[in-house]
Structure 1
Amino acid sequence: MFKNSLFLVLSLIVISLFASDMKNDNSFTTPGNSVITEFQKNNSASKAPDFALTSVDGKTVKLSDFKGKIVIVDFWATWCPPCRKGIPDLIQIQKEYPKDVVVIGISLDRDTKSEVPAFVKNYGINYPVVYGDGKVDKNFGGIEAIPTAFVIDRNGNIVDKHVGLVPKSTYVNLIKKLK
């Protein structure tokens, strides 16, 4: 009887601590709401690390080439379902804001790298897609999950970070603030 009571009390304590922690977790978003990430809370705008990576069409793409534009750097992979689900929104953003915004997709495909060009063509991706080199993700502070996207202002400062699938409206609201 004592063991059962003790187990019940400890279980309730653990559940209440977990529920309390989830209640205060602002790293997730619901569609249509703005994302309040740990990045925003703990970091003021910092310079985005420049990179020079090879695109699927063999060209070198540098982040610094897009200074003066809002840049969305999207870390993704062909095998990632949330990445695939979010790509049409990024395509639309690139279509709707061609003068103000550049989306750069950084493929983290390692074993399936050869599949990336066909994937880009099949999805009709209209923005530069480059191959990650193992350094770029570390230079952005490490990528713990994909998709992960960084929003960079016209001056090259990282102003937001999103982990997971992000609604298009979240990006649009941020673009409007940065224009």
Structure 2
Amino acid sequence: MNEVQSGQSGPKRNPIRLALGGVILVGVAAILYVIASASFKPSGPADLTEFKKGTLEKLDVPSTPRPAPYTAFTSLDGKSATLADFKGRVVVMNLWATWCAPCRAEMPTLAKLQAVYATQPVTVLPISVDRDGDLNLVNEEMAANPPLKTYRDPSYKLSFALDPKAGGFPTTVIYDRQGRERARMTGPADWSSPEARGLVEKLLAEK
């Protein structure tokens, strides 16, 4: 007489189905890890080299943002100011002089750039290195290019405080909203061009 088994065996498990389930779980976990890592990873400075074209072909884009100098300059009414006063805004600082023909040629394009971003945190900052005796010429140039305002550094202190120092005039330095130098242009450019506006837009988009 054969021995009767009292226990009943459970349903058989499909090994292929188990393997597929494991693969799916691992895949979901990997995707969630990537999403979480991207969410908590601090975003670095945007790459601005894509704007090195057109009249900005010679744009200098440092691999590491440079700190802004603390050197003071003055407004038209003689009040002292520094670049730190404009922190929180994208700043397009332009060092220029009335005796510099390329400086005066590009000034209307700087005025157009400021006008486009009049309601946004963007400041175009033309700083003249003209001597005191030529202040009337500086004011005439600014009056011809609204909404730009007169700022001055007749002692060239700011030009020499830059690292590296200004290589001539005009020199235009672009600072992000944290007050760091992100790009620099030695020589004239069309600051109303698509590449110039694209550069400003990219910095505005940064947090």
Check whether TM > 0.5: yes
User: Mean Cα displacement is larger for which, 110-119 or 134-143?
Assistant: 110-119
Q: 1:102 aligns with which of 123, 133, 138?
A: 123
1:164 has 2:187 as partner: yes
Taking structure 1 as reference, are residues 35 and 48 closer, same or farther at Cα in structure 2, changes over 3 Å only? farther
CA offsets, 1:3-26, max 9 Å, x none?
A: xxxxxxxxxxxxxxxxxxxxxxxx
1:10 aligned partner: none
2:158 aligned partner: 136
* 8 Å Cα contact 2:72-2:158 kept in structure 1: no
TM-score by length of 1: 0.72
Q: How much has 1:51 moved relative to structure 2?
A: 3.1
1:116 has 2:173 as partner: no
TM-score by length of 2: 0.63
Q: How much has 1:150 moved relative to structure 2?
A: 0.2
For structure 2, the residue ranges without an aligned partner over 5 or more in a row are 1-51
User: Mean Cα displacement is larger for which, 167-176 or 84-93?
Assistant: 167-176
- SS of the residue corresponding to residue 78 of structure 1 reads coil
2:18 aligned partner: none
CA RMSD of aligned residues (A): 2.1
* 8 Å Cα contact 1:102-1:127 kept in structure 2: no
Q: Report the residue type matching 2:113 in the other structure.
A: I
Query: What percentage of aligned pairs have identical amino acids?
Result: 31
* 8 Å Cα contact 2:71-2:157 kept in structure 1: no
Q: Report the residue type matching 1:152 in the other structure.
A: Y
1:93 aligned partner: 113
CA offsets, 1:105-163, max 9 Å, x none?
A: 11111375332223322x13323322113211111132222111000000011000001
Largest Rg, 1 or 2: 2
- SS of the residue corresponding to residue 71 of structure 1 reads strand
1:154 has 2:177 as partner: yes
1:54 has 2:74 as partner: yes
Q: How much has 1:49 moved relative to structure 2?
A: 1.0
* 8 Å Cα contact 2:58-2:185 kept in structure 1: no
CA offsets, 1:64-102, max 9 Å, x none?
A: 111111001101111211111111111111111122210
